[in-house]
Structure 1
Amino acid sequence: MRSMNPSDGSAPLPLFPLSSVLLPGAATTLRIFEPRYLDLVRDCGRNGSGFGVCLILEGSESGAPALPAAVGTLATIEDFDRDADGLLVLRVRGGRRFRVRQVRVRDNGLLVADVVWLADDVPARTRPEHMLLAELLRRMLERAVGEGVVRIPEHHFADAAWVGWRLAELLPLGEHERQALLQEDDVHARLQRLLEQVA
C-alpha cells in the first residue's frame, strides 16, 4: 500500500457517495446540482485532480452527508455537458482503489477523507478454472458491441484483473456484491467469487 494521493501527494480526497459502485476502469455519468458538488467539480478542474466515489451504506445521494463505504475508487472527469434541464453532467472513469482512514464534513456538507491508496493489481494470467469467465465476458461484449469487440486486444482476456473488473461491471450483481469485489485484493479470489455467482 502507498499512502500517497496521486493528485497532489497530501491533500484530503473529496468524496462523492453514490448508491452504486464505481469499479476500476468503468465509466459512469453523474448529474451535478448540489452546491457542494459544483464546488467539488470546480476544484477538480482548477487543480487537475479527481475525487473519490464510495458506495453509500446509510443515507442518500442528496441532502445530509451519507455514510460511505470504507473502500472506494478514484474518479477522473473525462467529459462534461449540460442536460435538457441545464444541470451539469459529468462522465467519469474509475481508477485506483483507496481505503478511507478518516472522514470530515466541510461547512458546505462535502465529505473529505484521509485515505490510503491500495496497491495496483499484480499482473496475473487467468487460471484454467476461470477461463469460463473470460469466454463469458467475450460473449457479453460481442452481444453488447457486435464487431467492435475485435478492437479489444486478445491479451486482455488472459488478464485476470481485467476480466474480473469488466465482469463485475457487466453482470447483474447487487451493489453490495460489487462492493465486496472492490474490497478484494486478490485477483484470483475476485474471479472465484464471480464464478460462484454465475455457476
Structure 2
Amino acid sequence: MSADSLPLFPLHTVLLPGAALGLRVFEPRYLDLVRECGRSGGGFGICLILDGGEAGGPATPAAFGTEALIEDFGTGEDGLLTLQVRGARRFRVRRTRVRDNGLLVADIGWHGDLDVDELRPQHGLLAMVLERILDQVGGEHAQASAARFDDAAWICWRLAEFLPLTDAQRQSLLQEDDPHARLDQLLGMMS
C-alpha cells in the first residue's frame, strides 16, 4: 500500500469500484479539482460524508473512499458542469488538510483488489442473483464475460451497486479488504 495524496469530493453517497456516477459541479473548489484532474490525467477521491453538507464548508469524510476517474463531461441544461465518473481503487484516508479554496485533500493509502479471487461455493447463489438482476436491468454490466461471474470482488461490487442497501451498508463493504468476507456480509444483509 503506497501513500499518495488525493483531492476529495465528499458526497452523501458511496462510490463503489467499477460503478458509474453522475455529478453536477458548481462550487469553485470542485471546478478547480476538475481542472487539476484534467491537467494531471489523475482522479479524485469520493468519500461518504459523515458530518456536514455537500456544499459549503468542508465536510467530515469517512475514512475509506473510492478513486473516481472522469470518463466524460459536459454542460447540463442549467449551465453547470456535469461529470460522468467511474469508481476505481479503494483507499484509506490517513490525514486531511483544507486548501485555501476550501478543497479537502487527503494523504491516502491504496487498498486495491489487484488479484481475482475465485468465487467460493458458498457464494454461488450471489452470482445467480446478480445474473438475474442484470438480465432484468440490462446496462453495461449485462454483457460481462463469464469470467466476471467467478470474480468474488466483482460480484460483490455489482450486487452492492444494484441491491437496495443503505449508504452505511455500502460503506461497511467498502471498508472490508477480504472479498469473501464482503460476500458473507452481503448474504447477511440479504437475509
User: What TM-score does the superposition give when structure 2 sets the normalisation length?
Assistant: 0.96
Tell me which residue corresponds to 1:192: 184
Tell me which residue corresponds to 1:78: 71
Contact 1:29 1:90 in 2 (8 A): yes
Contact 1:13 1:113 in 2 (8 A): yes
Q: CA RMSD in A?
A: 1.3
Matched, 1:23 2:28: no
User: What TM-score does the superposition give when structure 1 sets the normalisation length?
Assistant: 0.92
Matched, 1:125 2:94: no
CA distance in 1, matches of 2:100, 2:2: 29
Q: Equivalences for 1:167-178 in 2 at 5 Å?
A: 167-178=159-170
Gaps of 5+ in 1: 6-11
For residue 84 of structure 1, give the secondary structure of its aligned residue in structure 2.
Answer: coil
Q: What is the identity percentage for the equivalent residue pairs of Structure 1 and Structure 2?
A: 61
For residue 18 of structure 1, give the secondary structure of its aligned residue in structure 2.
Answer: coil
**How many corresponding residue pairs?**
190
Aligned pair in 2 of structure 1 residues 121, 180: CA closer, same or farther (>3 Å)?
Answer: farther
Which of 75-84 and 114-123 deviates more?
A: 114-123
One-letter identity of the residue aligned with 2:2: R
Matched, 1:92 2:85: yes
For residue 90 of structure 1, give the secondary structure of its aligned residue in structure 2.
Answer: strand
Shift of 1:100: 0.6
Tell me which residue corresponds to 1:103: 96
Tell me which residue corresponds to 1:161: 153
Deviations 1:106-135 (A, max 9, x none): 111100011111142532111111111000
Matched, 1:114 2:112: no
Structure 1 stretches (4+) deviating beyond 3 angstroms? none
CA distance in 2, matches of 1:121, 1:171: 24
1:136 paired residue among 129, 139, 144:
129
